[in-house]
Amino acid sequence: MAIEILRSAEGLEYEYCEYLWGDVISGNKDVLQRMGIGIGIGFPGEPGCNKRQVSTIDPRGFPCTIKLCREWQRFQYEAFIDHPGRHYQYPAEEWHEASPGVRRQANGAVDYFKGSAEALTAAGIVPAGMFPGMPGMRSVRVTILADGTLPAGHRNASHNELGRACEGAKFIDRKGRNSYEVGVWVSDELADRRDAASRLHRQAWEARMAAMPRAQRIDLNIRSEINEQPSRKRAKLCLVWSRPKFVPEFNVLPPGPFAR
């Protein structure tokens, strides 16, 4: 990652951050438009525009999102630019079919399953009648402990922490009409192996991105102006020659044997 805070000849400051996945440029509207970002469109917070962010493309044709910064931040806007082919694909983002009507995702310490109540029950993941919204169950999320029982207490009480560290504990979230997502906690050993594999996957991606050529920056015109500023200042300097004043004492040879 390379971060630079630069100032143009007109005194416009901006920050240019180069990440493995793309660029983040922070500055005001004038400096972003000088780079070719957001020309001819309104910026976030302006009349008729979204209050927080606006989507556009940069001069290279890359997707760009302009976001309004917080009041305490140094710059007014941030432009997030994704470089094609550099997006990191998390291994856990890939869903695979586990059984008819059920998709599975392995994500760290939890295995996720998606499907209808009938498909999840047929796959042996959730017992029948224990889904959110069913009689006697909570309306949005149901927690099933590792021994297959429900947590004690009122059915609408918070059970987020119960069974979290226990292998085999489950939580079922209602995602839509007859659509559910189930999380099943795995063993600590399996979670550690997945974390190690995820780190290796990330390191391999970082190595590929570091070796891949990057697209040219879009602030080269401003950078050239910044680089020319010292030469322009030197060009304005004038050497003034002053004729030395004649002083008789300086023309008298010093006494002694070393006098010439």
Domain residue ranges in the chain: 2-87, 91-190
Q: Are strands 179-185 and 110-115 parallel, antiparallel or unpaired?
A: antiparallel
**pLDDT of res. 107:** 86
- Whether 86 and 75 have beta carbons less than 8 Å apart is answered as no
Q: What is the rounded CA–CA span in Å between residue 219 and residue 240?
A: 38
> What is the dihedral sign for C-alpha 164, 165, 170, 176?
positive
- CA 233: distance to chain centroid? 39
Task: Please list the pLDDT of the chain residue by residue as tens digits (260 residues).
Answer: 666 666 665 677 899 999 999 999 999 999 999 999 999 999 999 999 999 999 999 999 999 999 999 988 889 999 999 999 999 988 777 889 999 999 999 888 999 999 999 999 999 999 999 999 999 888 899 999 988 888 876 555 554 554 556 889 999 999 988 899 999 999 999 999 999 999 999 999 999 999 999 999 998 888 877 666 656 566 666 666 665 655 555 555 666 665 55
Show the 3-state SS of the chain. Answer: CEEEEEECCCCCEEEEEECCCEEEEEECHHHHHHCCCCCCCCCCCCCCCCCCEEEEECCCCCEEEEEECCCCCCCCEEEEEECCCCCCCCHHHCCEEEECCEEEEEECCEEEEEECHHHHHHCCCCCCCCCCCCCCCCCCEEEECCCCCCCCCCCCCCCCCCCCCCCCCEEEEEEECCEEEEEEECCHHHHHHHHHHHHHHHHHHHHHHHHCCCCCCCCHHHHHHHHHHHHHHHHCCCCCCCCCCCCHHHHCCCCCCCCC
Q: Is this model's pTM higher than 0.75 or not?
A: no
